[in-house]
Amino acid sequence: MAEPTINAEPDLVPDEQSDEEHDSSMGLSLASTSESLRSSILDYRKENGRTYHRYKDGKYNLPNDDVEKERLDLQHNLFIMMLDNKLGLAPPNDPNSKAKRVLDVGTGTGIWAIDYADEHPEAKVIGVDLSPIQPDLYYMVGIL
């Protein structure tokens, strides 16, 4: 019986570019970087009167237009009604949950994340989505 071989070569190979090329202190401005990202994020593909984001163009089949936003909010409200006014059935959705950090992946309009944050003021809730539906906004309560 043959002995299994062990591949001693690493799976990860570092880039040949030096770290200096990526160093923001070397003149790369965050404003210019975010501006180019902002313009590409808002470059939607239009098909059959609907708009779609361009990330992996054509792979994600749901639109990101106003009609879709209304559908997402309606779906959220239907789930709330079906679940007896609960945001979900997993333990962090329990009104007495003490989760400190919550990540809503595919947040869409942000309605679930907003409802969760209202119900759990002790939690830091972050919503992430492919389309910039909600503004990139962070609220802090405090005295200035």
Share of the chain above pLDDT 70, in %: 67
CA proximity to 132, closest of 87, 70, 59, 69: 69
Residue 94 to residue 25: CA distance in whole angstroms: 45
DSSP-assigned states of every residue in 31-95: HHHHHHHHHHHT--EEETTEEE--TTTTSS-S--SHHHHHHHHHHHHHHHHHTTT-S-SSGGGST
For 51, the token pair is 């708009």
pLDDT in tens, 76-115: 999 999 999 999 998 888 878 889 999 999 999 999 999 9
- Is position 121 within any domain? yes
* Cα–Cα dist 55/44, whole Å: 9
- Domain membership of residue 34 (yes or no) is no
Give the model's pLDDT for residue 78: 98
Name the token pair of 27. Answer: 């003149």
pLDDT digits (tens, 9 = 90+) for 7-63: 555 455 555 554 444 544 445 554 555 555 566 677 788 988 998 888 777 778 899
Could you identify the residue written with the tokens 């759990």?
120
Question: Whole domain around residue 92: which residue ranges?
Answer: 64-128
- 11 located within any domain: no
Residue 21 lies in a domain: no
Alpha carbon distance 123, 94 (integer Å): 13
Residue ranges in 85-136 assigned as alpha helix (H): 111-119
Beta bridge partners of 45: 52
In a domain, 88, yes or no: yes
- Residue 81 maps to a domain: yes
The answer to whether position 37 is within a domain reads no
Residue 4 lies in a domain: no
Overall domain count for the chain? 1
- Considering the entire predicted model, what is its pTM? 0.66
